Structure 1
Amino acid sequence: MQRKVTKAVFPVAGLGTRFLPATKSIPKEILNLVDRPLIQYAIDEAREAGIREFIFVTSRGKSALEDYFDRAPELEQKLKQKNKTELIDALKQTNMDSGAIAYVRQHEALGLGHAVWCARRLIGNEPFAVLLPDDVISSDVGCLAQMVEAYAETGGNMVAAMQVSDANISSYGVLDVKEDKGSVVSVKGMVEKPKVEDAPSNLAVIGRYILSPKVLRNLNKMKKGAGGEIQLTDAIAQEIGESDNVSGFRFRGQRYDCGSKAGFLQATVAFGLERPELRDEFRAFLADTVAHPQAAE
């Protein structure tokens, strides 16, 4: 019987330089996708998967992110006075129970592995999830909930995986597949950001993980990898050699890279078209814009 995964780490210390000047004063994680910030999508996905403790690895200038999850009694009172119950219900989704959320600082940008390592004392000796808010996944069942169900059978360490093109393979950690079992693949190796000719497959790791506490002990070594950073992929790969307990999971859903402007725009269109109250007007606008591109310039 595997221990339940109830803790999740959200590495949100990045500066979001690809979205400057917007991110000069606003953390990238609270940029709006339709009418919810990126971090809200990640939190909702984690809640669906049974996560009860939320650990944010932050940096200077992220106070707006912390405020977002605090209560706003004055705003709630004004909405009650105007009987705007739908908006009150929407606000409740942003509130976190006292003690459910914790913040730790990453004082230097030393890589994703280092960011996760910063949360080690709060994780303790338990399995834990890692969610990267830049990766927004549209699916009927949340990606992490799918992984938790599979993890109950496999245990060990699990990474979400998807096929990517040769043109993009060098931007990802890539799995060397030992055995393909369909949605779950056993892994015999992982390579961080390989050249296309060196990639062992086109199955890439994306921003969802379920990890054993042994990965934190591997990160204690502070070994630098690709890009001179402490890579989470390297710490997970060490578990393959020592325990042979790493799996890849092909999730059901569409992933959007909201860490890039193009990906953010694609997600905006996709999520906007999913909303019944926006769909018809938005679809008509898009069709007209495509048919008459000069009118949009």
Structure 2
Amino acid sequence: MIKKAVIPAAGWGTRFLPITKSQPKEMIPIVDTPVIQYVVEEAVASGITDILMIIGKGKRAIEEHFDRSPQLEESLVKKKQFDLLEQIKKISNLANIHFVWQKEMNGLGDAIRYARDHVGNEPFAVLLGDTLISGKGDPITKQLIDVYERYKSSVVALEEVPMDNVHRYGVIKGKKLEKNVLIAEDFIEKPAPEEAPSNLAIASRYIFTPEIFNYLDKTQPGKNNEIQLTDAMRDMVKKYAMYGLQFKGTRYDIGNKLDFLKTNVIYGLKHEEIAVPLRKWLKEFAKEL
């Protein structure tokens, strides 16, 4: 059973400047909860008990969020706000969470290399810290773990995207093995539409066997002069079987402003405290558009 996960959260978040000048993009809230907390909760709901976060300069707020806050807890006790106290204490007890610093911003592949000592010889999950996936049924990471348990090889989450958008993603070339599962033949990083082997994009969730580290070590800087995870996967699939799961659920990429706003509305409509008044306001506001 896979018990370890890696969450890369070291990027600058330049698309969200100026707020990310002092605030990690992973700490931007969806309603009242930071994005990265949702990601951690997905991992925990999938059976993960040990999480390593790869962070960088300006990300100290992430560490503080998952640590205890005795003064805040004492204040909530005095005010008899026990429901809030329980929520706050739960955050620091979600899992065994560790941190390591990425010294330079050299890409996702380089960030994952920092997990080698922590992971050891175990298979592990990777969840990108700025992307939410609302699954139908089991959490998406649990769906990937189930595929890993059947095939004992690396698995990536796949999402069907419009062909015009494939240039934004890593894309799989593969053959269908069973419903929603493909065996990979190749991976292409951000191809032009005419060069894309499919419109199935890698969707921010992975299960890797530890062999990935050997390929990351050999990977040269690629697009944007960074160590691209997809490039390492291209080499690895030549020797080791890798699979793709077209998952059941919806991906919310909060890496751009429009999708961030949409996601807040969608999650707000599910929030027990504000769902009813928000829905009412949206209907009234829509009449004025």
Q: 2:101 aligns with which of 101, 105, 109?
A: 105
Deviation, 1:261, is 0.8
Show CA shifts across 1:67-117 (max 9, x none): 11110111112212222221112112310479x222111111111101101
Q: Secondary structure at the match of 1:104?
A: strand
Contact 2:9–2:130 (Cα < 8 Å) also in 1: no
| 1:134-153 pair list within 5 angstroms | 134-139=130-135, 140-153=137-150
Letter of the structure 2 residue corresponding to residue 199 of structure 1: A
| CA displacement 1:43-83 (0-9 Å, x = unmatched) | 00011111111111111111111111110111112212222
* Letter of the structure 2 residue corresponding to residue 28 of structure 1: K
Partner of 1:168: 165
Task: Tell me if 1:34 matches 2:31.
Answer: yes
Shift of 1:276: 2.9
Alignment of 1:1-297 (within 5 A): 4-96=1-93, 100-139=96-135, 140-243=137-240, 245-293=241-289
Q: Distance in 1 between matches of 2:227 and 2:36?
A: 24
Distance 1:272 1:110 in 2: 35
Tell me which stretches of 4 or more aligned residues in structure 1 moved more than 4 Å.
Answer: none
Contact 1:114 1:222 in 2 (8 A): no
Check conservation: 1:183, 1:251, Cα contact below 8 A: yes
CA contact (8 A) 2:219 2:232 kept: no
- TM-score of the two chains, using structure 2 as the length reference: 0.96
1:138 is displaced (CA, Å) by: 1.5
Give the SS at the match of 2:11: coil
- State the distance in 1 between where 2:33 and 2:105 align: 27
In the superposition, the TM-score normalised over structure 1's length comes to 0.93
Q: 1:88/1:102 Cα in 2 relative to 1: closer, same or farther (>3 Å)?
A: same
The Cα offsets for residues 146-175 of structure 1, whole Å up to 9 and x where unpaired, read as 211222112210000000012211000001
Q: 31-40 or 177-186: which moved more? A: 177-186
For the 8 Å contact 1:157–1:236, the answer to whether it is kept is no
- Letter of the structure 2 residue corresponding to residue 134 of structure 1: D
Change (3 A) 1:18 1:251: same
Deviation at 1:180, TM superposition (A): 4.6
- Quote the sequence identity (%): 40
> Unpaired segments of 5 or more residues in structure 2?
none
Q: Which runs of 5+ in 1 are unaligned?
A: none
| Matches of 2:19 and 2:57, distance apart in 1 | 16
Q: How far apart, CA to CA, are the structure 2 residues paired with 1:31 and 1:96? A: 21
Asked if the contact 2:41/2:94 (under 8 Å) is kept, the reply is no
Q: Aligned residue pairs: how many?
A: 288
Partners of 1:185 and 1:274 in 2: how far apart?
Answer: 33
Give the CA deviation at 1:277. Answer: 2.6
* Worse overlay, 173-182 or 194-203: 173-182
Contact 2:2 2:48 in 1 (8 A): yes
Q: Residue 286 of structure 1: CA displacement?
A: 1.1
CA distance in 2, matches of 1:183, 1:97: 31
